[in-house]
Amino acid sequence: MTDNKPAAVRARFCPSPTGTPHVGLIRTALFNWAFARHNGGKLVFRVEDTDASRDSEESYAALLDALRWLGIDWDEGPEAGGEYGPYRQSERGDIYRDVAATLLEAGELYEAFSTNEEVQQRRKDAGQDPQLGYDNYDRDLTEEQKRAFRAEGREPVLRLRMPDEDLSWNDLVRGEIEFKAGTVPDPVLVRANGAPLYTLTNPVDDALMRITHVLRGEDLLPSTPRQIALYGALQRVGLAEFVPEFGHMPYVMGEGNKKLSKRDPQSNLFNYRDRGFIPEGLLNYLALLGWSIADDRDIFTVDELIAAFEISKVSANPARFDIKKAESINGNHVRSLSHDDFVARVTPYLVDAGVLPARPSEDQQAKLSAIAPLVQERVAVLSEANDLLRFLFVDEAEFAPEEAAATKALGPDSEPALRAAIEALEGLSSWVAADIEQALKDALVEGLGLKPRKAFTPVRVAVTGRTVSPPLYESMELLGRDVSLGRLRRALPGN
């Protein structure tokens, strides 16, 4: 058949809805999305949900939630529609049955009755490793032999007749890859009960949906020769117009240089959202897992990613997930948010942590707005604002310095600094940050001769409850004179 490949790119993201979306899966979605957008093409979102024992609607909903949160949209698929639907494999059973029947009638598939035990025994009898897999024994069974097997109660699987020639492709990430003839056994495409397997459904859907580029993880590379062979069969029976291009992206490695498992908590995408990663920051970091925008640049926007993304620049080497680097990159994006955007994004985290009520008062909103720039420059993830700001909104009856901070900073030797601070602040006529700063420096550094750390740490812990807080003087201004002095007095040893 003449190659009738579409002029425009058609990439796809086709996850199985099992478990919680993980960073490796979303990295695959991101690269396909960026590739499609960069090339002015389309992204097809297809759900491979034929395994009823593992797939769930809850996981499907989580997939949609993850993609929407990150802003990864699709042109065809669930909720978007499209001319090649349905886009959930569980709704495409009739299509797979018809395709399998067509391939069987054309001789591209054949009925195989051998059990695993029989295959292994034949391998042993031939002096071969019994783990070599299927030996293509059933390719040329006669009708009489098939009837005999059926008389024993056996039902056949359907296998693809692999070509007796080398199979190769120019991988978009790894270059030329070749599998020698005879090294790939004839694969099962349909179970004995008639259920189609991934080996059939995935390439058939790609063919019927006219997918031009298959970009996926390197764990699927060994299945590629089987898929290329199936494409050949589909072309011969008029169901495929071309073979797509393949690109196999590198593994994402976790701690100890092991492949990041989807069961590893570090791989759970929603853990990052819960901690306060923002989509711009997380997408930026995920894009660096196997790709780079430039040798000397790690920070970029989503628009810059799309403009620069070339699949040929994806590395074949494993990428290591570095949480510290992810946090650092996210912090850069947090600091790039506008004031109002930061306040809007951080507020739900403060509410969830009980720092703010579900409906903050005008006074609380004003305090948050005033202190937001001081917090924004100090956090890598939004949830870090919870502990930084708790002192500002807590009920006074419930306020108490953190035990570790109090032990460190509010011992007996802190009393001179605290008393001097109280005396200096009580005499202030105006309660603004600049005057608070000057009064404390005059009293503690100049008056008592203390070094700044020794002078201000007890005051900081007494007022904010922590050794790390937003800037002290601005914090005290927002707390107000009465609250600030009350906390300093309560922090005096013996109170």
First-to-final CA distance of the chain = 89
pLDDT of residue 79: 93
Q: Is the pLDDT of residue 259 over 90?
A: no
Mean pLDDT of 38-51: 94
**Residue list, annotated binding site:** 262
Q: Is there a single domain that holds both residue 312 and residue 187?
A: no
Last residue of a domain, one of 190, 217, 252: 252
The better pLDDT of the pair 267, 293 is held by: 293
Is residue 259, in this structure, part of any structural domain at all?
no
Element (H, E) at 213: strand 213-217
Give the range of the structural domain holding residue 70, as residue numbers without chain letter: 10-252
pLDDT of residue 261: 74
Q: Is there a single domain that holds both residue 306 and residue 441?
A: no
Q: Is there a single domain that holds both residue 116 and residue 74?
A: yes
The better pLDDT of the pair 258, 377 is held by: 377
Q: Is there a single domain that holds both residue 282 and residue 234?
A: no
Is residue 326, in this structure, part of any structural domain at all?
yes
pLDDT of residue 3: 64
The 10s digit of each residue's pLDDT in 458-478 is: 999 999 999 999 999 999 999
Torsion angles phi and psi, residue 246, rounded to 5:
-115, 145
Torsion angles phi and psi, residue 465, rounded to 5:
85, 0
Is residue 283, in this structure, part of any structural domain at all?
yes
Q: Is the pLDDT of residue 4 over 80?
A: no
Nearest to 36 by CA among 69, 3, 65, 76: 76
Segment among 128-132, 157-161, 456-460 with least mean pLDDT: 128-132
Q: Is there a single domain that holds both residue 62 and residue 175?
A: yes
- Here the CATH number for the domain that contains residue 155 is 3.40.50.620
Q: For 81-152, where are the E strands, in sequence order?
A: 109-112
Contact at 8 Å (CB) between 470 and 371?
A: yes
Q: Is the pLDDT of residue 2 over 50?
A: no
pLDDT of residue 257: 75
The 10s digit of each residue's pLDDT in 177-192 is: 999 998 999 999 999 9
Mean pLDDT of 267-284: 96
pLDDT of residue 71: 97
Q: Is there a single domain that holds both residue 52 and residue 83?
A: yes
User: For residue 222, what are the CA distances in angstroms to 219, 228, 247, 396, 463?
Assistant: 7, 11, 12, 64, 62
Q: Is there a single domain that holds both residue 447 and residue 374?
A: no
CA atoms within 13 A on the CB side of 231: 25
Question: How far from the centroid of its chain's Cα atoms is residue 30's Cα?
Answer: 9
Q: Is there a single domain that holds both residue 125 and residue 34?
A: yes
d(CA 152, CA 296): 68
The rounded mean pLDDT for the chain is 94
pLDDT of residue 43: 98
Q: Is the pLDDT of residue 1 over 50?
A: no
Alpha-helix runs per DSSP H in 259-381: 269-275, 279-287, 302-308, 323-336, 339-352, 362-376
- Here the CATH number for the domain that contains residue 412 is 1.10.10.350
Q: Is there a single domain that holds both residue 177 and residue 310?
A: no
- Here the CATH number for the domain that contains residue 378 is 1.10.8
454 noted as active-site residue: no
Is residue 414, in this structure, part of any structural domain at all?
yes
Here the contacts of 113-120 (C-beta below 8 Å, separation 24 or greater) are 113/138, 113/141, 113/146, 113/149, 113/154, 113/156, 114/138
Last residue of a domain, one of 290, 305, 336: 336
- Here the CATH number for the domain that contains residue 318 is 1.10.1160.10
Segment among 46-55, 111-120, 316-325, 399-408 with least mean pLDDT: 46-55
Is residue 437, in this structure, part of any structural domain at all?
yes
Is residue 431, in this structure, part of any structural domain at all?
yes
76 bridge partner residues: 44
Q: Is there a single domain that holds both residue 374 and residue 461?
A: no
Q: Is there a single domain that holds both residue 346 and residue 404?
A: no
Q: Is the pLDDT of residue 294 over 50?
A: yes
> What does the block give as tokens for 428?
């202030």
The better pLDDT of the pair 264, 99 is held by: 99
pLDDT of residue 464: 97
Mean pLDDT of 258-284: 90
User: What is the DSSP annotation of 354-419?
Assistant: TSS-SS--HHHHHHHHHHHHHHHTT-SSTTHHHHHHHHHHS-GGG----HHHHHHHSSGGGHHHHH
Q: Is there a single domain that holds both residue 218 and residue 306?
A: no
Structurally, how many domains does the chain consist of?
Answer: 4
Q: Is the pLDDT of residue 426 over 70?
A: yes
Is residue 3, in this structure, part of any structural domain at all?
no
User: What is the DSSP annotation of 1-33?
Assistant: ------SS-EEEE-----SS-BHHHHHHHHHHH
Is residue 149, in this structure, part of any structural domain at all?
yes
The 10s digit of each residue's pLDDT in 211-221 is: 999 999 999 99
The better pLDDT of the pair 7, 345 is held by: 345
Of the residues 262, 408, 441, 454, only one is catalytic, namely 262
Q: Are strands 188-190 and 157-160 parallel, antiparallel or unpaired?
A: antiparallel
Q: Is the pLDDT of residue 256 over 90?
A: no
The 10s digit of each residue's pLDDT in 307-337 is: 999 999 999 999 999 999 999 999 999 999 9
**Residue list, annotated binding site for ATP:** 262
